[in-house]
Structures are given as structure tokens and as C-alpha cells.
Amino acid sequence: MSQERIHYPDWLKVLIVYGIVLFFVSLVFSMGTWLVSNHDRSLILTAFAGFTLPWGIPAMFLIAGADAWFGVRSRTAPDFVRWHFLVTVVALTLGINEFGVRRWAITRLVFGLYPLPQACPKPGISSRRPVPAG
């Protein structure tokens, strides 16, 4: 049931991911405001970001669907489901850790919602709790 692997969907995914990276880099220099903005603005990068905004993620889903279609043709259904379930669980676990927990903690620290622990107490302030009398 195995056939020769078709490589162009993989290369299209690589190109789309690089395009998405370029999109987010261009947002730094666009005319609008974003999380990170530079004082140097570019009309060309603003046009690039506006043009690529509706295409990047939908193109990635389209190529992923084509990749799944080719995968169903080359494997049995249980092997296909088992492999994609494993890949999805690993990616979900890494994504929750990297983009969920870490981003949440960094955002809390940057915006001052959680104060950073002090490395050493201020002079004259004891780091011990007072012992109740009696």
C-alpha cells in the first residue's frame, strides 16, 4: 500500500512557515501598532503585511489537508490515525508548555502583575518571620 513520497507539500509548508515569519517581522515596521513597534515605519512592509494577512494560516491548513489526503492514500486507516494522534499530542504538549505557560509567566512579569522576587532583602529588614510571643 506504500507509494513513493511526494515532497512538494513539505516544501510548500516550509515556504509558508517562512512567509509567516516574514509577516510577523514586517508587523514590527508597519504603520499600525502591534505588540512590538519600531519608530522606523515602512509603507512597503505595511502593504506586505496587509497582503499576506489573509493568506498565511489558511494556506497552511490547505497544505496540511493535502498532506493528510496523501497520507491516507499511503497508509492503512489505523496507522494513519495512530501516527497523527501521536504527532498531535506531542505538538500540543510542547505548544502548551512553550506558548501557554511560559508566555503567561513572562507576560505577568513584564507587565508587573507578579513582582520579581528580590535577590536579597533590603538593609534593615529581616528576612525571617517574627516569632509570636508566648
Grid cell for residue 57: 494560516
Q: How many residues does the chain have?
A: 134
Q: What is the pLDDT of residues 47-67, one digit of tens each?
A: 999 999 898 889 989 998 888
Distances in whole angstroms, Cα of residue 114 to Cα of each of 96, 111, 129: 21, 8, 22
Hey, how many other C-beta atoms are within 10 angstroms of the C-beta on 45? 19
The answer to whether residues 17 and 60 touch, using CB atoms and an 8 Å cutoff, is yes
> Mean pLDDT over all residues of the chain?
81
> What pLDDT does residue 106 have?
77
pTM: 0.57
